[in-house]
Amino acid sequence: MTTAIPRKLLTEREAAEYLGYRPATFRQSRCMGILAGTKPPKHQKLGRAVRYDIADLDAWIEQVTKGATA
Q: What is the pLDDT of residues 11-63, one digit of tens each?
A: 999 999 999 999 999 999 999 999 988 999 999 999 999 999 999 999 999 99
Q: Does a structural domain hold residue 1?
A: no
For residue 69, what are the CA distances in angstroms to 19, 39, 53, 64? 18, 17, 25, 9
Does the pLDDT at position 1 exceed 90? no
Query: Domain count of the chain?
Result: 1
Q: In this structure, is residue 49 part of a structural domain?
A: yes
Is there a domain that residue 64 lies in?
yes
In a domain, 31, yes or no: yes
Residue 47 counted as domain residue: yes
Position 56 scores a pLDDT of 95
What is the H or E stretch that residue 57 is in? helix 54-69
Output the pTM of the full model. 0.81
**Domain interval for residue 19:** 9-69
